[in-house]
Amino acid sequence: MEEKKLKHKAKKEHVDLAIKESLKARETWARLGRNERLDIFSKAADLLADKWRYKLNAATILGQSKNMYQAEIDSACELIDFLRFNVQYVVDMDYVQPYSPEGILNKNYYRPLEGFVYAITPFNFTAIGGNLATAPAMLGNTVVWKPSYHAVYSNYLIMELLREAGLPEGVINFIPGEPQMITNTVLNHPDFAGVHYTGSTKVFKNIFKQIGNNIDIYKTYPRIVGETGGKDFIFAHKSANLNALAVAIIRGAFEFAGQKCSAASRAYVPKSVWGELKNILLEKMKDVKTGSPELPETLVNAVIHKESFDRCKSYIDLAKSSKDCEILIGGKCDDSIGYFVEPTIVLTTNPHHRLMVEEIFGPIITIYVYEDDKFEETLKLCDSSTQYGLTGAFFSNDRKAIVFADQYLENAAGNYYINDKPTGAVVGQQPFGGARASGTNDKAGSPLNLWRWVSCRTVKENYGPPTEVLYPYMLE
């Protein structure tokens, strides 16, 4: 029985074969006309909008414990948007051309990278799995795709969808299995040309180091594109709409059990409004239901696995034992029927507490109440107290305060929201990604990301080449 369970896990020889098939497929895929390639992904988007929509949503609901609404905006809407927008972005790339003076034609050709691309995808967004694998492929690259072990089924269905849309064999090679073995095999290959990654900061840093150590074996400098962790904030000014602020805290922190790189994990609230906001939060939390993702009333689901459950529980235990923390609501953990962590709001008097600076990736948010006359000082604190720079939100109805905060928080978040929660970036509207320890900020869902998967070749054609060696001024 145990052997049967593990049959889907790739061995090293399977990874070697995937790389071999990827390089073989590149010979024909890279030479296929651009429109012929893109038609495949356009068809995949149409199939997903109709025939495949509910099957992929169901796989995401049951396999990754997303409620119905979260699954629909992820595995259906967002993945469809990634496919359709990226197709148009690729078409638009051809319009970026150099100046051609009289008698000369200059042309940029956007070649695929020389080698193969390695896509490493997370469990928390089915759409990210599809995007990280397909975006490089649209440009003529071939891909070795390692899905998260906790999203294998939904990601496998994406492969089946792409096959039905006409994707040739070997263009995207789906290799679920032990992450370290697969990554070591890929990064030690001379034809490795780039990595498209979403996951933890620690793992990405190790990949970065490994690529650096291997730099002499590669045929070309690999492209390194990664979106990693976050300690995302909500910062409130005394003029904020408190009902809107409370909803942003609850939705931003607890939707999909806080398992979003963009999830609100820390908040800064002025003392003058905290009492009223606290009452609103506690009242609105009465509507928050935790349970099975199959039930339409569920807002908060179980976390993905025991490791996540244990990590969340350790932070809740830390809050309970810290003299400068108070649990306002939540704080219970139950793994008897699933890995359920109660949505938890912690109040702290220490803005440097571990709960305010470390990524948790669960349904826990910590609030620090600041003195109103320390608004500027607290903005600086928000910017400097963590290593991350992914998402953040600022709530205020005072335009002067909004402009002032924007100056201090310029580098604190790659996706910055004014009077909205820090989650829910939409493809084509809010290109997603952050800097600092949150990644390379190559903005998934925008042309910026696609430019990373081409190697430009510039060609000059001279309609009237010179026929004399000496320049005219020399003859004078």
Residue with tokens 């309970």: 320
DSSP class of 432: B
Residue 456 annotated in active site:
no
Residue 30 tokens read as 């890279």
Residue 447 sits at φ, ψ, to 5 deg, of -60, -25
| Catalytic residue, candidates 78, 227, 255, 359 | 227
Instruction: Output the six-digit token pair for 31.
Output: 């030479």
Confirm whether 27 is a catalytic residue.
no
How does strand 143-146 pair with strand 435-436? unpaired
Residue holding tokens 């967004």? 125
Alpha helices in 30-125 (DSSP H): 34-49, 53-64, 68-71, 79-93
For residue 474, the one-letter residue type is: M
- Kindly give, in sequence order, each residue whose CB lies less than 8 Å from that of residue 345, ignoring residues fewer than 6 positions away: 249, 253, 281, 285, 327, 328, 329, 330, 365, 366, 367
Cβ atoms within 10 A of the Cβ of 468, count? 8
Helix, strand, coil percentages (3-state) for the chain, rounded to 5, are 45, 20, 35
DSSP at 76? I
- 3-state secondary structure string, 291-336? CCCCCCCCCECCCCCHHHHHHHHHHHHHHHHCCCEEEEECCCEECC
Strand partners, 225: 196
For residue 108, which phi and psi values (nearest 5 degrees)?
-95, 130
Alpha-carbon gap, residue 112 to 251, rounded angstroms: 40
One of 72, 77, 78, 261 is an active-site residue; which one?
261
Written as six digits, the tokens of 432 are 């997603």
Mark 294-325 as b/e (b = at least 16 C-beta within 10 Å): eeeebbbbbbbeeebbebbbebbeebeebeeb
The residues that are catalytic are 227, 261
